[in-house]
Amino acid sequence: MHLEAAYQQARMCNLHRRPSRFLVPALYSYSSKAAAPIIPIDSKHSTTSASLSRTKPSQTEPLEVLNPPATTLPPPLVLPTREPNITGTRKLTFYYRTGKAYLSFYKAGVKAIYQNYQILRKLRPRIPRGKSLEQALRDGALSRAEYQLIRRTRRDVSRIPLFGLVLAICGEFTPLVVVFMGLNGAVPTTCHIPRQIDGAREKLEARRQKSFREGTITNHEVENMDNVQRTPRPVLVHVGRSLGLYSSLWDRIGLTPTVLLPWRIRKALDRIDVDDFAIERDGGVERLSDEEVKLAAVERGLDVVGKPTGDIRSTVFEWMQARKRAPMINLLSSRPPSWPRE
């Protein structure tokens, strides 16, 4: 009851916040018409094309500082409807149109990376020389939307060479190669198809549940996130599995990358910590878009598959409240019902 009251109070407070002073890079959106307005991430897309257009933000609406632009996410994928009992030429036509739809989707995703990169270049002067991206965010030089755009664009750009090679060779068959060969790590996030996203989340959650069943870890003496080196090894292994920080292939062969795992966990904790700070500063959990709140939950090791968006949002809000009373390692190594509360 106290938690629900706190959530409602935080929501009402944020509704009356003044627009932030940050400039947002929300200049691009997915649309089928050049003059179409920006499409919210959580809206139902009814477009029949995955083309991109450049639009200008309204001068009367407050600039977005919390949610990055829609071009950091995959564009809408609109596939042709398969009629029952089709044969012959009509069946070939259906497969041809499906392949063309996937190819258009990938082209739109690659174009989005280019557009995001143009924004990234304009944001570079805002990052003081000698400071990291995280430090620039904490110092107020960047908003969360800008921080996430830069972070996601850097990751997507690094994946372009290998993905471009796969796309050039496989063409319309790229989705089959990506899904069945498990090439998620080689595909930019703007080119992830829905089946690919759902499949990756289901596998991650199944692995997390298995790790919990093997032995739930709670109430460990971990003072703060800087003490990863002193964290018991079973905790590190569980957190690594829960966040997907190392391949499940290591579990299959009975080994764990103990040398790299502490470093990867520390990097993940730093990334989550700075994002928690940015969410709290730039609007709160209640202002996150539906897709952004799902991404925030996945990044924090929280289940999202088959859950309503409202429940996911409440769990992320609980995470933010529990962070004030417990070390992050403790939250990652226990289930939400066991998190400390007022």
Q: What is the pLDDT of residues 110-135, one digit of tens each?
A: 999 999 999 999 999 999 999 999 99
Task: Tell me how far apart the alpha carbons of residues 243 and 302 are, in angstroms, rounded to a whole number.
Answer: 9
Task: Tell me how far apart the alpha carbons of residues 147 and 132 are, in angstroms, rounded to a whole number.
Answer: 11
Structure-token pair, residue 186: 């080689």
Query: Above 70 in pLDDT, residue 307?
Result: yes
Q: Which residues pair with 52 in a beta bridge?
A: 30
DSSP collapsed to 3 states, 295-335: HHHHHCCCCCCCCCHHHHHHHHHHHHHHCCCCCHHHHHCCC
Task: Give this prediction's pTM.
Answer: 0.79
Which of 89-98, 118-127, 227-236 is least confident? 227-236
Structure-token pair, residue 62: 């407050």
Query: Above 60 in pLDDT, residue 9?
Result: no
Task: Tell me how far apart the alpha carbons of residues 69 and 23 are, in angstroms, rounded to a whole number.
Answer: 12
5 pLDDT band, cuts 50/70/90, is low
Which of 40-44, 136-140, 277-281, 329-333 is least confident? 40-44
217 pLDDT band, cuts 50/70/90, is low
Which of 5-19, 88-102, 301-315 is least confident? 5-19
